[in-house]
Each structure stands twice: as C-alpha cells, then as structure tokens.
Amino acid sequence: MLKQRLQQKLLQKLSPQQIQMIKLLEIPAMQLEQRIKKELEENPVLEEGEYDQTDESPAEEPETSDNDEEFSLEDYMEDDDIPNYKLSINNYSSDDKKPEMPLGASTGFQSHLESQLGLRSLTEKQEILAMYILGNMDDDGYLRRKLEAIVDDLAFTQNISTTEEELYEVLQVIQDFDPPGVGARDLQECLFLQIIRKNQSEPQTALARKIIKDHFQEFTRKHYDKIIKRMNITETELKMAIDEILKLNPRPGSSFGDGMQNTVQHIVPDFILDVKDGEFILSLNSHNEPELRISRTYTDMLESYAVQKNKRSKDQRDTISFVKQKLDSARWFIDAIIQRRNTLLLTMNAIIDYQKEYFAEGDETRLKPMILKNIADKTGLDISTISRVANSKYIQTHFGIFSLKSFFSEGLQRDSGEEVSTREIKNILADCISREDKRKPLTDEKLVSILREKGYNIARRTVAKYREQLHIPVARLRKEL
C-alpha cells in the first residue's frame, strides 16, 4: 500500500566549491598549470595578474564612458546571435575529469605492415582479411584475438563469409613480414617466428629452436635440469642456446614509432626543499603557474548597471545574471587555488618535521615509519585530504626528486624494541638478492633466516609480500646458469 508522508533527514553533501577544491588538490603542478589556462579561456572575468580583494570593491564613481571601455554589457545584449548559454545545457562541472585516450604509437608500425601487404600477390578478399587482421594487432605486434572470433566479427560487421583455415593462410603471409615475430598469437609463436629466420646451421640456433618448439614451458619456468635430461645435452650447450633466445625481441612492434618515447614521464616537482645553515626552506614550484585576478572591467560594468534596478529589460537581467555567475565562479576558483597552496604547504611541512633526520642527510635508514594518520593528526586535516596531497606529487631535495608516497611506510619492531620502517627491510632484501649466487638463488625461507640474524623477526609470507612489492620473482625464476 502506497503512503505519502513528510520526513526530515540530515544529509552530508559537498558544495560545488568543495568539489572544485578536492579536484584541484589531487592534480600535480603540471596539470594545474593546464587547468588554470583552461579556466582563463572559459571564464572572461578571470585574467592574469596579482589577486587583490580590494579590486572587487565597488568604485565610488563608476566610469560609464564608452570611449574608455573596449566593450560594455550592451555588446552582449545587442548581439544578433543568441548566446551559447541559452542554447545548450551543461550538466557537467568544469572540474569534471575528462580522461583522454593517449594516441598509440602504432601509426608508423601499422603503415609499415600495410606497405608490405601491397608487395604480396593476394586476391581482393585476402587483402580485406589481411587488413582486418592488421587492424586487430596491438602495438607489440601480437594478434590477441582468436581466429574463430575474427570469423564471427567479419560475418556480422563486414558481411564477409570466411573460415579459420582461410584466415590462417592470410596470417601466415603476415607472419612473414618484417620485423620478425609480427602476427604471433602468443610469446612462444613470436620467438619461434624469429628463430626460424636465423641460420639453422649454427648448433646453438638449432638447439634454441628445438627448446622453443618442444620445451618452452620448462624454459619459462627455468627447469633447466629437465631440459638437459630430456634433450641429452650439456649445461654449456644449454647456456649457449638460452643466450641465443635472449637475443630475440618479445615485443617486435615496439621497435617502430615512438613507443619507447611515449613511456617516458617527465617529472615536474610540486615542492622544492632547500637547506641553508641547517634550516629547511620549503617552497611550491609555481614558476609557470599564472597569478589570477578578477577583471576590473567586468566589476565596473556590473556596478554601472546596478543603479538601473527598476529599468532593466529581460535581456539586461539575463546578461547581468550571466556576468554575476562568471564572477562567482572566478572568485571560487581563485579561493580554491589559494586554499590548495595552503593545504599543500601545511602537509609538506608536517612531513618534513616528522622526517627531519631523513631530509637532513637523505639516508634511508633514518626514514621513520609514517602513515597517513600521523600527518593527519599533526595537521588537523582529514586522512583523505592527506592522501590526495600525497597522490602524484613530488618533491625536489638536495639528494634527488622523490614521490611523496615513498615517505609513507608501515613500522616494524626489531628484537631490540626499536621501531624501523618497512622500507629499510625492503632495502636489505633487495641487497641480499642482488648479491646472491644466481645458480642457487636465496629462497624466501633463507631470506627469513638472514633477516632474523639481523634482528628482524618477520614471517615468510611477509618476506614474500615485500619481495613481490619490489617486483622480484621467486627463487626458481631468478636461477641462471
């Protein structure tokens, strides 16, 4: 049964200003510069220059002379064109994230393959199938989609009837293209396509080909003893064959275009820390960040029409409302930028104060255990705010540029009762593994024993977790001949 009743509720909602502030707090220095420029383009009330709140106060005798102004509110009202804001509905905030898909570097690679396709003698249908296969290849040169699925795609989208056998014939033509290995459906096929193009009269090449074809699973798992036993070869012969395999390219498509350059990230530090006479001097990196202020022209124009309250037409009211909206948006944006700077400096100063010994010398062993709650308690800010400040931000120090996230780590107590950072334990693990005998790598159990000898009483699963965080494989996969 439906009933109608009144009910009071207390709801916690973020205002548009708070949402804008949160989003500005998350972005690093480089993106902030772009965000400010975007706001300058979209909001005519904003202009570059030092912000002064006295500029917003109304003038005693506003000047209304047309000769002194480049334009006035009449320019908006007398325009024959209907303003944009009357023709469209914008349900999105200007601060909404609009992720752009990065352009892949496969353009040159794709063109290279298509140019080779023109040199082959193919029927019209085979050319269509080949172009479709090329379109399904990724930037590494692999065909990740199954031929069975491509057959269905061609039938439904292109109205082309074909079979897996016919597609495979075309795929074999593509696999003969340069660079060697393109058109492979998995890593084994990619390496095999490359090894068969080498001189098979050399014993190590012939052996490498047989390993890839018949013993690839044992090779990837580094079960070298099994390979030696099954192929009845010596350890020296196996080592020469493995060296030949390691010369192959597992990503043949990456050698074309700017794929390697696209992965390079230029870090622009958000903070700059200097040490003078033992004192820390922290500053925000805002050299390229323009100062903002509210245009005096617009405030004067608005003030000049404030005295005409009873004589305004509908067009005048709409235009004045639009300008007021832009003025409010400009003030909110400037206030959010100022609040962002204050929050960043407050948080970073708290981190420096907490890690004084580390920032003084740059010695990682002096890095104390620190979590987000420690800095939140120190600054009086919420943990989520500290997390947003630490996200994607970097600081430039006299000993290098570091991510703010790297300063946060959990603590672990030694047998002596001293509390140390887990980062110190990770450094010890990395050092032990770098100096191990690669013929007999250290297992997780052995690493636990080494750490316990040094006074770190931790479990094997914790060692495994730290090892995985360091992107170090298990002992079996670190084995070398």
| CA atoms within 13 Å, Cβ hemisphere of 465 | 8
Other CB atoms closer than 10 Å to residue 139's CB: what's the count?
18
State how far the Cα of 132 lies from the Cα of 157, in Å rounded to an integer.
11
Provide the 8-state DSSP code for 163.
-
**Domain residue extents for the chain:** 26-80+290-331, 107-255, 271-287+333-407, 411-478
Q: Which residues contact 327 (CB under 8 A, 6 or more apart)?
A: 45, 294, 298, 299, 302
Please write the tens of the pLDDT for every residue from 299-352.
Answer: 777 777 665 655 566 666 777 788 788 888 888 888 888 888 899 999 999 999
Which pLDDT band holds residue 97 (cuts at 50, 70, 90)? Answer: low
Q: Is 251 helix (H, G, I), strand (E, B) or coil?
A: coil
- pTM for the model stands at 0.57
Distances (CA, A) of 38 to 102, 299, 327, 332: 19, 22, 16, 15
pLDDT of residue 290: 75
> Across 2-6, 97-101, 155-159, 169-173, which has the greatest mean pLDDT?
169-173
| Token reading at 315 | 């067009």
Q: Which of 118-122, 241-245, 396-400 has the lowest mean pLDDT?
A: 118-122
Instruction: Locate the DSSP E strands across 242-315.
Output: 271-276, 279-284, 292-294
> Across 99-113, 172-186, 411-425, which has the greatest mean pLDDT?
172-186
Q: Is 478 helix (H, G, I), strand (E, B) or coil?
A: helix
Mean pLDDT of 178-191: 91
State how far the Cα of 195 lies from the Cα of 187, in Å rounded to an integer.
12
What value does the mean pLDDT of the chain take? 80
What is the β-pairing status of strands 394-397 and 400-403?
A: antiparallel
Please write the tens of the pLDDT for every residue from 40-58.
Answer: 888 888 887 765 555 554 4
Which architecture characterizes domain 411-478 according to CATH? Orthogonal Bundle (1.10)
pLDDT of residue 74: 52
Distances (CA, A) of 398 to 51, 106, 285, 395: 32, 40, 15, 10
Q: Which residues of 152-188 are buried (b: 16+ CB within 10 A; e: fewer)?
A: eebeeeeeeebeeeebeebbebbbebebbbbbbeebe
Which pLDDT band holds residue 109 (cuts at 50, 70, 90)? Answer: confident
Mean pLDDT of 198-225: 90
pLDDT of residue 346: 93
Whether residue 161 contacts residue 274, with contact meaning beta carbons closer than 8 Å, is answered with no
Provide the 8-state DSSP code for 63.
-
Whether residue 192 contacts residue 182, with contact meaning beta carbons closer than 8 Å, is answered with no
Whether residue 40 contacts residue 47, with contact meaning beta carbons closer than 8 Å, is answered with yes
